[in-house]
Structure 1
Amino acid sequence: MDWLERMNNALDYIEDHLDNEIDYKKLAQTALCSEYHFSRMFSALSGISLSEYIRRRRLTLAAFELQKSDIRIVDLGVKYGYDSADSFSRAFQKTLGLKPSEARNKGIQLKAFPKISFQISIKGDIEMEYRIENLDFELKLIGKGFPVKTSKAFKTIPTLWNTAKKDGFMQKLIDMSWENPKCTLESLLGVCGKEAAITDEEFTYFMGIRYDGNVPSDMESIVISHSTWVVFPNIVEAWKRLYSEWLPTSSYELADFPCIECYYPPKHKPKHELWVPVVSKED
């Protein structure tokens, strides 16, 4: 079963569970994908967040039912996962542009959001540089975590680093780093989701360094124990092309660990790199 078929199987799973609870762990398993990475991959490929896609599909089906049945609006809302008629009506109007009661009128114009499908788009006209790194030790990182809305990550994360530079937190990290170098991850690090999995709407961005000493009272620590990483120069470009271009044609799968953004000192080339945890498809 190839990568494209697995992703479309995940879409089928969503479609089969629109009128009941969607188990996101099973959804990721259907795609044979890391639960950690599935929602981010979905958004990168489709251009819409996973939760928003599910919301649109559910409300589309709800509109169809309003047209062809006399089901009560409150019952319809419960069927598609809403706690009350008011919350259902607000979501319905925000997404489809009219109230549920208005959708019952024959001849009224409705919006429909169809099921999507993933297809291969042949690219590859611009090469992607990467290397494989193997780490034979646990990464103990210290720093601080900050909540980030997934949809605004590319704007929010640079702002977090600018703030850290102004308030002295960045310099504190720099002063503590490079004391006992073990690998090329001896720099400022941004861990994209220190929790078990990135949620669809928000994740915790952990700003820190690799450090083996005692944890300062104003910081926290996390440990990442994974050995094989694929490393790309240019973080922004790597994020844009990782899921749609590199992953489908590689011999690797994404591992269930967070990606790490590595920001190097001045004059270092490249300026920054994206470290992505992977496992070989042959393992």
Structure 2
Amino acid sequence: MIAELNRLVALVEDHLTDDLDLASVASPLGTTEYHLRRMFSSLAGMSLSEYVRRRRMTVAAAEVLGGDDLLGIAVRYGYGSTEAFGRAFRSVHGVSPGDIRRRGGPLRTQPQIRFRLTVEGITTVDARITDRPDFRLVGHVARVPLIHEGINPHIQAHIASLPIEEHARLKDLSSTEPAGLLQVSADVDSDYTEGSELTYLHGVAVTDATPVPDDLDTIEVPAGTWAVFRTGGDYPAALQSVWAATATEWFPSNPWRLRPGPSIVTVLDRSDDFSAATCELWLPVERA
């Protein structure tokens, strides 16, 4: 995976002034656009689209300082007007192209990324692979922003809005793995961008034969393979740590890649105040 990501970075450099067709790039690298985007964002700490924008504006700054026509520069980097180019330029450098020409700076440089695999073994990742037939996720859905660290207050508010007896009703409906009450994230931005919206479902997994009340939302999940990661400790810090370790340690070391589908967390055990918990993280995967 590290070699594929470095090849992607090299291709980005070759296509700074035109659109890179990531789907056509992923296939020769032996992976998928979905997995490539998710691994890039997890390891680089920024989405691929954000990295491309920063690199374009870094290189474009030299042309701005060189006195080239601003509209020509804007068009060369994929912007239809100097206004749109100016907004992108300001978002990276904090000043407009005109300010740069008058004062010569300040300029913020995005260096070209290089991925390296460091063998440290900091995090032990306990995982199992399981094949599951198709099933349904049923419960209560909300659209919430993606937050990488700490408790997501939007998810908290969604769960808190449900009557206490509703949790028991949902749990009684559970009829297949993953068992128990589930935290489901679906329709996640492929770049895994902080603040982007996702579909969150608080509910359970059921078989096709399970009758589902009309007042519940449903997510259909096709048959496929899942990697299941178990973690225990401070909640949600331990869970988020293992989530990160799947990208930095597990996927680069194993012949599996992410495939589109919901990610699922099931809480197996928890303290009374939910400050600690034992959880399983279910991720949809396929052989690389």
Alignment partner, residue 166 of structure 1: 160
Residue 86 of structure 1 aligns with an amino acid whose one-letter code is: E
Per the normalisation by structure 2, the TM-score is 0.80
Match status 1:198 vs 2:186: no
Secondary structure at 1:5 match in 2:
helix
1:63-109 superposed Cα distances (whole Å, 9 cap, x missing partner):
121233522x2332233233432232133123113321233358555
Distance 1:161 1:90, change over 3 A: closer
Residue 192 of structure 1 aligns with an amino acid whose one-letter code is: S
Alignment partner, residue 48 of structure 1: 46
Alignment partner, residue 131 of structure 1: 128
- Native 8 Å contact 1:56 1:95 kept in 2: yes
Find the partner of 1:93 among 90, 94, 99: 90
**Distance of 1:60 and 1:44 partners within structure 2:** 22
- Native 8 Å contact 1:143 1:220 kept in 2: yes
**Distance of 1:41 and 1:75 partners within structure 2:** 34
Match status 1:17 vs 2:15: yes
Distance 1:81 1:218, change over 3 A: farther
> What are structure 2's unaligned runs of at least 5 residues?
232-238
> What are structure 1's unaligned runs of at least 5 residues?
none
Match status 1:276 vs 2:272: no
Which region of structure 1 is more displaced relative to structure 2, 269-278 or 24-33?
Answer: 24-33
Which region of structure 1 is more displaced relative to structure 2, 83-92 or 110-119?
Answer: 83-92
1 or 2, which has the higher strand percentage? 2
CA RMSD of aligned residues (A): 3.0
Secondary structure at 2:61 match in 1:
helix
Distance 1:216 1:169, change over 3 A: farther
Q: Tell me how far 1:273 sits from its aligned partner.
A: 1.2
Secondary structure at 1:18 match in 2:
coil
Residue 258 of structure 1 aligns with an amino acid whose one-letter code is: P
Distance 1:170 1:198, change over 3 A: farther
- Native 8 Å contact 1:67 1:105 kept in 2: no
Which region of structure 1 is more displaced relative to structure 2, 234-243 or 108-117?
Answer: 108-117
1:104-139 superposed Cα distances (whole Å, 9 cap, x missing partner):
35855533212111111121144221222221x212
1:213-228 correspondence to structure 2 within 5 Å: 213-228=210-225
- Native 8 Å contact 1:62 1:76 kept in 2: yes
Q: Tell me how far 1:247 sits from its aligned partner.
A: 0.9
1:27-66 superposed Cα distances (whole Å, 9 cap, x missing partner):
5446543433433321221122222211111101111212
**Distance of 2:29 and 2:246 partners within structure 1:** 17
Q: Tell me how far 1:214 sits from its aligned partner.
A: 4.8
**Distance of 1:6 and 1:193 partners within structure 2:** 26
- Native 8 Å contact 2:184 2:265 kept in 1: yes
Secondary structure at 1:95 match in 2:
helix
Q: Tell me how far 1:217 sits from its aligned partner.
A: 4.4
Percent identical residues? 28
**Distance of 1:12 and 1:170 partners within structure 2:** 53
Alignment partner, residue 186 of structure 1: 179
- Native 8 Å contact 2:148 2:240 kept in 1: no
Alignment partner, residue 78 of structure 1: 75
- Native 8 Å contact 2:142 2:158 kept in 1: no
**Distance of 2:43 and 2:94 partners within structure 1:** 26
Distance 1:279 1:84, change over 3 A: same
Q: Tell me how far 1:216 sits from its aligned partner.
A: 4.3
